[in-house]
């Protein structure tokens, strides 16, 4: 699949924003935001919604006709894209009420915190299902895709929460340990995904044509000039380059941020190191999302002569 930069920015940036808002809501319910002032909590919430908004605006850049984006709300019963759009917009007033509740310290603040957290996670899930529901792409049609989307959001949002918490001088070692544990779990899940992705499963040109007992090959291409299918579904990257990028992605997304967060336990400059760890992780997640598209194989490629998807 052709990796569109606007979609990479959308999924990574909005994911971090949803993750940060989920951490803020969980902090209110579990009590670890009590060390933060009202203004500091509102600042974290605003940072989360700014990241979400940057992602949503970026997603419209991928549309051929952005002014028709409103049509995405019209198929809620059947389309994961429509569900994502509805929940994403619904989050704004709920998050706004949550901010007001923080400022005025309303008695129902826990309810709004819980709703904000749930809506953020539900929106993340609907985004992931846009890809996981596609049976035509074996690499995406797996429960591991929603699990990884959620995990990426929680580790990127959690690391940003740690950095801001350290900047405010209220960093909690227990929260650091939880975030580090989630990073390790996410790394393990990604390695499992890599192992599963390499298995020779899915459709072949034999099963696509029904000649399962015969050797089938393409005699001639079905087109004489490049088409939309070639551009979007025929993206080619050398296997050795993909392997190198996988290694770099693993180091940048998981290993280096983990090492920097661990250094904070040693009493080094906290906010700066954690902020750097978050920026490095975001760069790694952009590379991960690029690989997510570049390694995907749509079954339409079978009709271009590819032997395996």
The number of angstroms, rounded, from the C-alpha of 266 to the middle of its chain's C-alpha atoms is: 31
Q: What percent of the chain stands above pLDDT 90? A: 62
Between 287 and 214, where is the model more confident? 287
pLDDT reported for residue 263:
87
CA torsion angle 48 51 56 58 (round to 10): 180
Residue 309 scores a pLDDT above 50: no
C-alpha angle 218-220-225 in degrees, rounded to nearest 5: 125
C-alpha angle 5-195-233 in degrees, rounded to nearest 5: 35
pLDDT reported for residue 306:
61
> Tokens 């603040």 appear where?
109
In sequence order, what are the beta bridge partners of 204? 308
pTM comes to 0.90
Residue 292 scores a pLDDT above 80: yes
**Region 149-160: what's the mean pLDDT?**
98
- Could you read off the pLDDT of 201-215 as tens digits, one per residue? 556 666 666 776 777
**Region 17-25: what's the mean pLDDT?**
98
Residue 240 scores a pLDDT above 70: yes
C-alpha angle 196-202-207 in degrees, rounded to nearest 5: 160
**Region 171-179: what's the mean pLDDT?**
92
């Amino acid at each position: 699949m052709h990796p569109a930069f606007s979609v990479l920015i959308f999924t990574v940036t909005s994911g971090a924003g949803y993750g940060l808002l989920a951490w803020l809501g969980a902090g209110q319910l579990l009590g670890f935001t009590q060390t933060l002032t009202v203004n500091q909590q509102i600042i974290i919430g605003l940072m989360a919604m700014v990241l979400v908004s940057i992602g949503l605006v970026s997603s419209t850049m991928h549309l051929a006709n952005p002014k028709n984006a409103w049509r995405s709300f019209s198929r809620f019963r059947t389309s994961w894209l429509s569900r994502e759009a509805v929940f994403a917009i619904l989050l704004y007033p709920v998050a706004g009420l949550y901010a007001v509740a923080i400022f005025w310290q309303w008695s129902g603040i826990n309810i709004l915190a819980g709703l904000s957290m749930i809506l953020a996670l539900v929106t993340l899930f609907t985004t992931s299902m846009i890809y996981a529901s596609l049976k035509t792409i074996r690499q995406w049609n797996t429960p591991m895709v929603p699990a990884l989307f959620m995990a990426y959001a929680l580790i990127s949002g959690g690391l940003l929460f740690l950095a801001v918490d350290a900047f405010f001088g209220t960093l909690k070692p227990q929260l650091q340990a939880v975030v580090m544990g989630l990073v390790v779990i996410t790394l393990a899940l990604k390695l499992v995904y890599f192992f599963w992705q390499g298995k020779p499963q899915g459709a072949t040109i034999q099963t696509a044509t029904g000649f399962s007992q015969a050797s089938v090959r393409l005699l001639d291409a079905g087109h004489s000039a490049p088409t939309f299918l070639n551009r979007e579904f025929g993206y080619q990257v050398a296997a050795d380059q993909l392997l190198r990028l996988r290694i770099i992605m693993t180091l940048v997304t998981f290993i280096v941020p983990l090492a920097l967060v661990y250094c904070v336990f040693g009493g080094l400059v906290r906010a700066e190191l954690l902020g750097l760890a978050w920026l490095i992780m975001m760069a790694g997640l952009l590379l991960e999302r690029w690989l997510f598209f570049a390694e995907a194989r749509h079954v339409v490629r079978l009709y271009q002569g590819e032997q395996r998807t």
